[in-house]
């Protein structure tokens, strides 16, 4: 539990506001699936940049977790985009 208490995350305020505005626009326009995709991509991006900045911005020093995180995140995004394209709205 002490590990979670010592973690400090810094997410820029403009990114949080942008996420809120885009999510609100998706809710107003009743594009719930697109809003879910945008929210997932934002959280995926934040997780990647937070982890990338703590590793010292070295692209070559990827750990196994980094590669798995990228693979799972990108594959889920691709599957969801394909789902949005090929599945009809109900």
What does the pLDDT profile of the chain (90 residues) look like in tens digits?
666 667 666 778 888 899 899 989 988 988 888 888 888 888 888 887 776 665 555 555 567 777 788 888 889 888 888 887 887 665
**Rounded distance, CA 64 to CA 29, Å?**
40
pLDDT of residue 53: 63
Compute the radius of gyration of the chain from its Cα atoms: 16
Would you list the domain boundaries of the chain?
Answer: 30-90
């Amino acid at each position: 539990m002490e590990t979670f208490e010592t973690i400090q995350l810094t997410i820029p305020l403009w990114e949080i506001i942008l996420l809120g505005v885009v999510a609100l626009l998706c809710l107003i326009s009743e594009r719930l699936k697109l809003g879910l995709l945008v929210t997932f991509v934002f959280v995926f991006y934040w997780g990647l940049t937070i982890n990338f900045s703590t590793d010292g911005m070295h692209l070559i020093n990827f750990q196994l977790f980094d590669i798995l995180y990228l693979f799972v995140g990108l594959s889920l995004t691709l599957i969801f985009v394909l789902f949005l394209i090929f599945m009809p709205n109900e």
